[in-house]
Amino acid sequence: MSLPPDLINELQKQFTGDIRLDLASRVLYSTDASIYQIEPLGVLIPRVQDDLHSVVELAAKYKVPVLPRGSGSSLGGQAIGKALILDCSRWLDNIIEIDPESHTATVEPGVILSALNRASAKYGLMFGPDPASAERASGTMQLAHIRFCTACLPII
C-alpha cells in the first residue's frame, strides 16, 4: 500500500506540522522498544491540535490507517505498523490544566508522565501507574492505564 497522491496534496494544504515521507524518516520510525521492525507509510508530526483533526479526517476519507505514537517505548510493537505514524511527542506535550478539586488533568497526548507528576505534586496528587519508563512514556501511558483513586488523577 502506498499513500494516494491526493491525500498528500490535501495534507500539504491543511497540516501545519512536519510531513516526512522520505525513506530515512520511515526507517527511523520503523522501530519502537520491541524486537519488531515495520516500515510505516509516512510520518506526521502535528504542531497543533487541529492537525490531529485534519489527519484523522483525511485518513478516513482515503482509507489509510493512522497509528498515533508517543515516545515509542512500547515493548510489544504497538507503536509501529504499515500506517501513517502520528508522532505526538514533539510539539503536543503540554499540560493544559490540573484541577485539584475534581482530581482531573487535561493534557495533550504527548505529555511525559514524569512532567505531569511533577506538576501534580504541588497539589499532593500523582497519576496512579508508576512505570519504570515514566521519564519517557507519554500520554499513551495514561490512555493505556487509566486508574482512579483518591490520590490519583483521572486524565481526559
3-state secondary structure 75-94: CCCCCCCCCEEEECCCCCCC
Q: Out of 116, 140, 153, 155, point to the residue binding ligand FAD (CB under 6 A).
A: 140
**How far is the C-alpha of 100 from the C-alpha of 122, rounded, in Å?**
10
What is the distance, to the nearest Å, from the Cα of residue 99 to the centroid of all Cα atoms in its chain?
22
Q: Which of 9-17, 23-31, 53-61, 64-72 is the region at the interface with ligand FAD (rule: CB under 6 A)? A: 64-72
17 binds ligand FAD (CB under 6 A): no
117 binds ligand FAD (CB under 6 A): no
**How far is the C-alpha of 96 from the C-alpha of 121, rounded, in Å?**
16
The residue among 55 and 67 lying less far from ligand FAD, judged by its C-beta, is: 67
Residues that bind ligand FAD (CB under 6 A): 32-33, 67-75, 78-79, 88, 109, 131-133, 137-141, 143-144
